[in-house]
Structure 1
Amino acid sequence: MKTTTPAEQGMQENKATARDTRTAVLKRSIRANVPLRKTFVQAPKGVVSRHGPLKEFVTGRDLRGLKAYLMIVAACSNGDSGWSTTHDSAVWARMMDIEQTATEQSARTGAWRTLRRLEQRRLITCHRTGTKITVTLLREDGSGQPYDRPSGKTEEDRFLQIPATFWTKGYDELLDLPALALLLAVAREKNWSAFPAEKAREWYGWSADTHERGLKKLLALGLVERRDHYKKAPLAPMGVTLTYQYQRTAVVRPRKARKQATQPTATPATKSAANSSRAGGAQ
């Protein structure tokens, strides 16, 4: 029977977790909210197909790849390193929760294969140097074009925001693939929008069943809220039909930037006035 030495026990107790690693990545990127172009979820109106790159993750059942991609956007989108980030392959594996169920070498290999899938979808580029892997963002629409920070000035450049607390508080760990896809779909739209399951295939490229399961999971976790909405229906028996509208709850909405309290800069004139005031009060 193998025994654990005090040193080994101490190492295990203090070893960084996957969430620790994701939190460190987010702190280094210095972002309260992570921007993601809406074209990742759904193409703008007027194009032949409304499906965005998100469809391939859902139909390919690639939850690991989707979570990894969102973390890469979070890590790279501040632009401090030219839209790139570099980590040891073991760190990438821990960030993706692979090391929990694999040997060290298998986890490293799994991380590289996950990143290569994202590269094949033209969302990133990646290359290895020894055990280091550098990843560079490409545009979120899967066009393979270089990444730039979205400004929101055009339809193709509009973006949704994911709060950093989505990862740091572990909400990402609660979601399966349908729920994560639907959370992004809800985040893409205005508050209190409708998401009819019968439109799922046309709008997003996944099944009505996947759509409904995703919304149900989000409601159960308290990450979205729903309200009744009645639409006029002249040919319906009651003259109206009941639909549902959804929005994100506060815990997964973008965080407002804290306003910095600013002190007025002292000028010679204000200093003179202050000195005169103090002198007058002393008389």
Structure 2
Amino acid sequence: MTKTPPAKRDMQPPEVTGRDARIAVLERSVRATVPLRKTFVQANPGKRSRHGPLAEFVTGRDLRGLKAYLLIVAACSDGSKGWSTTHDSAVWARLMDIDTSATPSAARTGAWRTLQRLQGHNLITCERPRGSTMIKVTLLREDGSGDAYDRPSGTTEEDRFLQIPQAFWNRGYDERIDLPGLAMLLVIAREKSWSVFPADKAPEWYGWSADTHLRGLRKLLELDLVERRESYTKAPLSPTGMTMTYQYNLKPIMRPRKPKKQGNSTTPSVVSQTSRPGAAKGRR
């Protein structure tokens, strides 16, 4: 009796995508949200410059590097391996989607160069033993100082942090967002709910142009990641007697989960978007 061979499609190797790899990394980190010190986006008041390391990615047009860095923070921030994560260079290339547009060899090289750029920003260290394809990445402090990383607690101004929900990666927003949009997503996550983000202040506060600022806000509205409302204030000497500005807030899918109350206490390590002092009108 002749046996029927298995269908050809069952014999084909599965296709593994960058999103598959990113989701696997996030599942291993066992965190619903990713903490990121606010000083990555903007330095605290009193500093010589208010620009955070984020400005270097924006002005350098390095979307790949910024997305890679945020994913590394997600992969390492649980601390189970000493703020480090190690993968084969081919896996790093897959995590960054470089393998979709380059040969295997070129993709490995592209991943290594991206990690070296992050090391140049003093945000990580990366190690690759001679003759090995394994690359170990270790987090440094988010402010670009080169200091050792520790998990932010939110107990001091320098230690305040924003949170990025895993939905950003799991639902593929990271694949659809552009560089201005991602920069402004981090800016809005840094501030209180319903803040104003005047474009004319962008060069001073964040280190990029007003045009980049506005394009980022438009992209977030297009992706439905933020909501916007009008706000009016008196202006007796203006023709209309008032001025109108827009306030922005993250959509629920991008907001951190509120900590569960246990008796009369709350989890100290979770800082909500509204925990930072300052008025809703975008005081910097």
Structure 1 stretches lacking a partner, 5+ long: 1-5, 261-283
Change (3 A) 1:208 1:9: farther
The CA deviation at 1:165 is: 1.2
Which residue matches 1:121? 121
Q: Larger Cα Rg: Structure 1 or Structure 2?
A: 1
Change (3 A) 1:144 1:96: same
Question: Is the counterpart of residue 241 in structure 1 residue 273 in structure 2?
Answer: no
Change (3 A) 1:102 1:115: same
Alignment identity in percent? 70
What is the rounded CA distance, in whole Å, between the counterparts of 1:144 and 1:9 in structure 2?
A: 49
Which residue matches 2:86? 86
Give per-residue Cα distances to partners, 1:73-98, cap 9 Å, x unaligned: 00000100000000000000000000
Which residue matches 2:256? 254
CA contact (8 A) 1:35 1:162 kept: yes
Please give the residue correspondences for 1:85-234 in structure 2 after superposition, counting only pairs within 5 Å: 85-129=85-129, 130-234=132-236
What is the rounded CA distance, in whole Å, between the counterparts of 2:62 and 2:148 in structure 1?
A: 24
CA contact (8 A) 1:32 1:257 kept: no
Secondary structure of the equivalent of 1:36?
Answer: strand
RMSD between superposed Cα atoms in Å: 1.7
CA contact (8 A) 1:122 1:142 kept: yes
Secondary structure of the equivalent of 1:141?
Answer: coil
1:194 maps to a residue whose letter is V
Question: Is the counterpart of residue 62 in structure 1 residue 57 in structure 2?
Answer: no
Secondary structure of the equivalent of 2:222?
Answer: helix
2:207 maps to a residue whose letter is G
Change (3 A) 1:257 1:18: farther
What is the rounded CA distance, in whole Å, between the counterparts of 1:233 and 1:203 in structure 2?
A: 25
Which residue matches 1:267? none
Give per-residue Cα distances to partners, 1:39-76, cap 9 Å, x unaligned: 00000112111000000000000000000000000000
Structure 2 stretches lacking a partner, 5+ long: 1-7, 263-284
Give per-residue Cα distances to partners, 1:239-258, cap 9 Å, x unaligned: 21000100110121123467
CA contact (8 A) 1:227 1:246 kept: yes
Aligned residues: 254
2:136 maps to a residue whose letter is T
1:146 maps to a residue whose letter is A
Secondary structure of the equivalent of 1:85?
Answer: strand
Structure with greater proportional helix content: 1
TM-score, normalised via structure 1 length: 0.87
Give per-residue Cα distances to partners, 1:118-175, cap 9 Å, x unaligned: 0000000001130000000000000000000001111111000000111011111110
Consecutive aligned runs of 4 or more in structure 1 exceeding 4 Å deviation: 6-9, 256-260
Secondary structure of the equivalent of 1:247?
Answer: strand
Secondary structure of the equivalent of 1:87?
Answer: strand
Secondary structure of the equivalent of 1:230?
Answer: strand
What is the rounded CA distance, in whole Å, between the counterparts of 1:103 and 1:250 in structure 2?
A: 39
Change (3 A) 1:105 1:258: farther
TM-score, normalised via structure 2 length: 0.86
What is the rounded CA distance, in whole Å, between the counterparts of 1:225 and 1:207 in structure 2?
A: 22
Change (3 A) 1:8 1:57: farther
Which residue matches 1:41? 41
